[in-house]
Structure formats: C-alpha cells, structure tokens
Amino acid sequence: MILCEKVLRPRANSKYDPPDGHKCQRVTGHSGPCGEFTYLDGLNDVAPKVREKIVRDATMTTGASWKSKDAGPNRIHRWTMLLTDDELLVLEIKMAALKPWVVAKLRQKAATYEDCMSSARYLAWLVYGMEGAPEADPETKMYLEDHFGPILKGATGCLVCRAPLRFELFHEARRGRAEIETAHANPRVHTPGNVGFAHRHCNIAQGDKDLGDFYDWILGILERAGRITVHNLDHSLPLDPPRDPRDAEE
C-alpha cells in the first residue's frame, strides 16, 4: 500500500510538529480531504474515547503521575524527544534541569513520526480484533488488513498474559484508571508488533522489564515456590522484581 503522505497544514502548536511536518496517512489517490487518522472516524462515532486513546498513546509520551518542575513535560510528542538538549531548549524544555532518571524515562519514550503513525494503525487493528468490538467499515477494514493481515474477532489478547481482551474493558475503570492500557513488549521500543494492549494489572506487573525478562522473573518465583521445575535454561532466572515506571522519584 502506498500512502498519500501529502504534508498537512501546520497546527496551532506547530513548534512541536515533526521535522518534515504532519503527513496524510490515506492511500494515494484517495477521494476527499487528506488526514492522519481518517481510519479512526468509525471509532469516533461509537467510542470516541478509544479513538482518543489510540492517537494519544501512539503519538505522545506517557503523562507524569505528579505535577512538579522535576517531573518533566506532562505528555509531549514522542518525536520531540529525539531532539538534542539544545534543540529542546529552544522549545523551552530544559533537560539539564531534570533529574537523570526523568531524562532517561522521557528519552526511552522517543519514536519517529513514522513509527508513531504505524503504531496508531496497529493499535486500531488490534481494537477491531477484540471480542465485542464494533465492525470496521469496508474502507477501514481494507486499509488496516492491507497493513497487518485479517482482522479476526476475539484474536486480540493482552500483550502480557495473552488472555483475550474484551472491547468493553475500555469503558470500565477503577479509581479513574481504565482497565486496558497501552503496553510494550520492550518498554524502550515503540513500533508495531512491540506495542499492544494489556490489562492494567498486567502492565503494572511487567513494570520496566521487557517481556522476556518478566517471564523469567515469574518462572523464578514459581520454581522457588515449588510450583514448577524449570529445565534446560541457558541463563539464570532474575531475582529483582520489575519496577513500575509510574512510581515516583527514586
């Protein structure tokens, strides 16, 4: 599939635009206006908050859970974090004033504009593959399946525990937090295949470990607890638990 990629008009906060500008993500030769997320229009009609979540999580860093000058920017475009400290200073983001661990957290959320657009498409594809999800209109279905393959109802599972995810979980929340979160197999990579959805408690349990290390940590617990016997591993099992990156200032 060849995308239009016509450069769109600058936005009000254009100082945070990608280096080459926002680009149309529709198929080349399309009818109607250009746009980045037209394939989400159907979701916007039935579940606008899900549409908003896809765009936000695909393109923005995670928000700080507290407000202080030490916390860094509270959500900023991922591609902005690819800029140098000097370039960020022009945008009034003073990386040198932040604690090293805050800088590391922001930098690990960085991604190119192209990876953000691809991740948004992938997340949309995963949503339509959830049990109970609305049907995609024919144009959207063709668009997403051309990128990632057939949309199979009930095929989308939690990235961490692999259990099927129900679309209705987007609308359930505890203490103001949704039961489904965007997750990453490797927390330092933001690309299709590495990004996905997870139960909130699974995402918290994984913490800052990549999935391979997290599963090894779980195996170690089960072996030490006498629940399983692990054979033929070519590496030792970790003892240190994952850290929740949302935990505050350590």
End-to-end CA distance of the chain: 46
Cα dihedral 15, 39, 189, 215 sign: positive
Looking at residue 250, what is its pLDDT? 34
Q: Say what the alpha-carbon torsion angle 187, 191, 193, 198 is, to the nearest 10 degrees.
A: 50
DSSP three-state, residue 182: strand
What is the per-residue pLDDT across 192-211, written as a single tens digit (0 to 9) for each?
989 999 999 999 999 989 99
What is the per-residue pLDDT across 122-157, written as a single tens digit (0 to 9) for each?
999 999 999 999 999 999 999 999 999 999 999 999
For helices 138-148 and 113-128, the axis angle rounded to 10 degrees is: 120
CA-to-CA distance for 53 and 115, rounded, in angstroms? 17
Q: Say what the alpha-carbon torsion angle 19, 24, 26, 27 is, to the nearest 10 degrees.
A: -80
Angle at 26 between CA 194 and CA 192, to 5 degrees: 5
Here the tokens at position 65 are: 């859970």
**At which residue do the structure tokens 């206006």 appear?**
33
CA-to-CA distance for 158 and 161, rounded, in angstroms? 6
Looking at residue 102, what is its pLDDT? 85
Looking at residue 176, what is its pLDDT? 63
- Could you tell me the mean pLDDT of each successive run of 10 residues in the chain, 250 residues long? 91 78 96 96 94 95 58 79 93 89 88 97 98 96 97 96 95 78 94 95 93 93 86 64 49
